[in-house]
Amino acid sequence: MGLTLFTYLAALLAAAAAFAVKGARPGVRAFRAAAFFSIAYALLLATGYMLSIDYPGAALALVRAAGAGVIASYLAFLRLAIGYPYAKRLFILDLALVVVGAAAVWAFVFTDAYIVEVKRFELEYIRFEGDYHRLLSIAGLVIGLAAALTMAARSFITKSRVYRQHLAVMAAGLLFSVAWGYVFAIVGPTGILKAAYPLSAVNTLFAVLAASYAFSSTRVFQPRVVVKSVGAWLAIVAVFALPLGAVVAVAFLFRAQAGATAMGIAAIAFLLLGRGAESFARGRMGSEHDAASREDLEAAIAHLDLSAGRESVLGELSAIMVESFGCSWLAVLSEDDAGNLRRIYPDDDDEIVTTPNSPALEALAAVDRRVMLKTDVVADASFAELKPVLLGFFEVIGAEAIVIAKEGRRVVGLFAFGPKRSGADYDAQDYAAFDAVHGKLFVVAYYARHVARESLLGTVEKEIGLADQIVKSIQEKIDPVDHPGVAVSFVCQSPRGLGGDLFDSVRISEHRWFFVVGDISGKGLNASMSMVILKSMIRTLLKEEKDFVKLVARANAFIKERLPRGTFFSGMFGFLALDKGSIYFINCGIPAMFFRSPGLDSVIETQGEGKMLGFVKNIEPYLKTRKLALPPGSRVLISTDGIVEAESVRGERYGKERLVRILAENKDSSAAETVEAVVKSASAFAGGRLDDDITVVAIDYVGIPKEKKR
């Protein structure tokens, strides 16, 4: 009974694997047919075995149908082997396979050629074979072997490596399936494996799982990685799983006398050995090593000296990438003022690769991927519509992998990686590494986009440095709040030229602006790079996400998962709704937000409690949208901690009280004058020098003119 239930479970797993393959790709129809007949074979055989004691007639019919099912399954796999991976119409072959399948159904089900009678006594299964049982069994075996060997042979001659891998994996799964079926279904009932006869139908699981994996795999795995993983799993089984099984078995031998004790022993053994297996897997299967390698790569890119000039920066980046990925070359493409993608490295020949309205550039902008491997484009069904255009682009630049830097749907830069020197393809580990350093590469792409050639920058580099130029250009790229009903002024500066403070505003409609103000943790270049990445990502999310809370939650997830470990953001996100005279905001740890109404003589602190971003993976349950009504003549002042925590020479903090006093003293001043007064006051308090990044924003609401309201 237990073995029969195991066969049913195998059928369910095979069905799940079959349903996981979606899309109208070449070969999917043949795979689905093979999976259907394989699952039917398992269910029919297991059910026939169960009914063979009480209902021998029904059992006979089911076992015969199961035999026909396995033949039909192997025929479908043979069709898959011949046609995959191309969408070939082979009418004569399909007709021949249907005829063979129909003949098999007739011979197996409607004659006594295969099985004459089946019986079972307890666990002993007796099968009375027909005159042609061996011939029919060998015929099924030959068809299955023919399908597997065809796949294996074509795996050597197919041009695409990823398709070669698919065929090899399917061949291995099918060979194992045929061997399993031969041992348990043909030899077993007449030998010592009578009690294990229901397991013969489990063979369907191996072939279906292998084919399902092949259809879902778009990246080539390296043999050394496979050998390492298999070896590690075998070691886990030998060192941990087998001893655990022995302990549980021994413990349950005494369950009649001390059931609770046996359960306790088993639980303790599971916890101890399970924890050991987890540590072993992390140390031996590459997860910790890969994470450390990616962190080292991120750090290497983050420490590029942007003031050295574009050619020097891109040359150093190329050396880092070539060493890390083993690629033969790195090419950098950058958007120019006309919207073309130009090759700026190597050689800096400014060759135009794509024009603004070219199909290739439109495809790159439309694709929801920031990393693409050529094997992905070849084998991933999600690229089906854009496949010809994208493959053409890969061929033009000669790349095997690309990393795309985009602002929204605009491609501002692209990094193309040539073939590996070893001849291998880029695999899943390479993809993970590319994805991990995407943020850093985005900064380099932005740098290349906004910095002219090195020869034209000698004077500028000596005076202010290229990195500072980039950060300033990004900070200044905002949608100013230009509206007769409001005046917005801000100062965002760093004493080091490079910092992590951020202010950005985006026009949503005639009367509405989105804005964000805050501080990225860290100092200098690393903080400024994180600020650049976060600003770009927030703008991208703003185009995709309409829910305010979810937008902030996604920004938090990006900081937690994509920015360097330990990065956090303290600030606020807001919507300035001038048509309603309100600000809707979410406090994410902004230290100071003050409100002054013309009807009140006092200044009110309004930010409430907030959670900084970057500490927890899912912050959505902790986010709360607040509304602040703005009567005409009111003012809002927002400041990061650079002002509030400024210290005097005696170690005294500037604090919120002085900020409130400056706001009250400048109640008749403009927003710009108020911001200037705050900065001057804090600077004077700190002895003429502010040591931290500062951002101060003042919003003066005067009301919407009547003609604007209509």
Please state whether the predicted TM-score (pTM) of the whole model is above 0.75: no
Q: Is 296 helix (H, G, I), strand (E, B) or coil?
A: helix
Rounded to an integer, what distance in angstroms lies between the CA atom of residue 497 and that of residue 495? 6
Burial of 307 (0-12, 13-18, 19+ CB in 10 A): middle
DSSP state letters, 561-579: HHSPTT--EEEEEEEEETT
**Is residue 81 predicted with pLDDT exceeding 50?**
yes
- Can you tell me the distance from the alpha carbon of 531 to that of 569, in angstroms, rounded to the nearest whole number? 9
Residue with the bigger pLDDT between 440 and 192: it is: 440
Over residues 210-238, the mean pLDDT reads 71
Q: What is the CATH number of domain 2-217?
A: 1.20.1070.10
Cα(656)–Cα(644) distance, rounded to whole angstroms? 6
Q: Which residue has the higher pLDDT, 394 or 222?
A: 394
Q: For residues 246 and 268, what is the distance between their CA atoms, to the nearest angstrom?
A: 13
Coil vs helix vs strand at 264 = helix
pLDDT over 70 at 612, yes or no: yes
For 659-699, the pLDDT digits (tens) are 888 988 888 899 999 999 999 999 888 887 777 888 999 99
More confident residue, 336 or 524: 336
DSSP bridge pairs for 634:
701
pLDDT at residue number 226? 60
Residue 454 pLDDT exceeds 70: no
Would you list the domain boundaries of the chain? 2-217, 225-271, 291-450, 478-709
Asked if the model's pLDDT at residue 584 lies above 90, the reply is: yes
Architecture of domain 478-709: 4-Layer Sandwich (3.60)
Element (H, E) at 415: strand 410-417
Question: pLDDT (tens digit, 9 = 90+) per residue, 421-453?
Answer: 888 788 888 888 898 888 888 878 877 776 644
Q: Which CATH architecture has domain 291-450?
A: 2-Layer Sandwich (3.30)
Specify the range with the lowest mean pLDDT, choosing from 148-162, 278-292, 543-557, 669-683: 278-292
pLDDT for 110-168, tens place per residue?
Answer: 998 988 888 777 666 677 888 888 888 888 889 999 999 999 999 888 888 888 888 99
CB atoms within 10 A of CB 520: 29
Closest CA to 686 of 648, 641, 658: 648
pLDDT greater at residue 245 or residue 294: 294
Query: What number is the average pLDDT over the span 608-625?
Result: 88
- Cβ contact 532:474 at 8 Å: yes
Residues in the chain: 710
Q: Chain-wide mean pLDDT for the chain?
A: 81
- pLDDT band of residue 269 (cuts 50, 70, 90) is low
At 463 the pLDDT is 37
How far the first Cα of the chain sits from its last, in Å, is: 79
pLDDT bucket at 72, cuts 50 / 70 / 90 = very high
